[in-house]
Chain A
Amino acid sequence: DAGVIQSPRHEVTEMGQEVTLRCKPISGHDYLFWYRQTMMRGLELLIYFNNNVPIDDSGMPEDRFSAKMPNASFSTLKIQPSEPRDSAVYFCASTKTGRGSYSPLHFGNGTRLTVT
């Protein structure tokens, strides 16, 4: 099992540029989550999908952020335009449900974003 795969590992960009983060969940997992982690705010849930459908995007900070999941094996988180306060580590995680129970999350290695 390859685990959750995120790319890129590091991204440095200038304010105003578009940033696209990518995630490949574990095969067979039906939930996908995007989290953002900073020292000040800890891990924040941005959005999550179930069977490729966005369920709750109330954590998305503003309209500059958007996320898509065109199929079960791929999701993107886009920031346009980026701002220095978006600098953080962005984690993607996936899990699968079964028999009415909820399983723990499997996280990717994260994307460390720096916006200058």
Chain B
Amino acid sequence: RKEVEQDPGPFNVPEGATVAFNCTYSNSASQSFFWYRQDCRKEPKLLMSVYSSGNEDGRFTAQLNRASQYISLLIRDSKLSDSATYLCVVNLSSNDYKLSFGAGTTVTVRA
């Protein structure tokens, strides 16, 4: 089993739609979780951290479910500029910094 697994998609959605996807992780001791965004041929950039209580940043909502060991990302009112690959990132270590990336979920928003 991979340490961090994501549905690769692609998710093709019209502008204004809501899209959501999950990421599962294998290490129950993982403490830190993030969503990164990567545009084609660019470096990954932090989208948002994921907190235990769930958090929202504008149109983006992240949730953590420790019991089932997954995190989720929901994008509301999607824009063309949201088209990208979204990478789930998990710190596999409980006492150090060892970030593992999922393979990414591709989202394409069409006009």
Contacts and interface: CB of A to CB of B under 8 A. Distances in A.
B97 A42 contact: no
B44 A43 contact: yes
Given A43-B87, A45-B99, A45-B100, A104 B46 contact: yes
Interface size bracket, B side? 20 to 34
A109 interface: yes
Contacts, number: 44
Given A45-B101, A48-B97, A107-B44, 19 more contacts: A33-B99, A35-B101, A42-B103, A43-B44, A43-B87, A43-B101, A45-B100, A48-B98, A50-B96, A50-B97, A55-B96, A91-B44, A97-B97, A102-B31, A102-B32, A102-B97, A104-B36, A104-B46, A107-B43
* 10 tightest Cβ-Cβ pairs between the two chains A and B: A107-B43, A42-B103, A43-B101, A104-B46, A102-B32, A102-B97, A107-B44, A31-B97, A110-B43, A109-B43
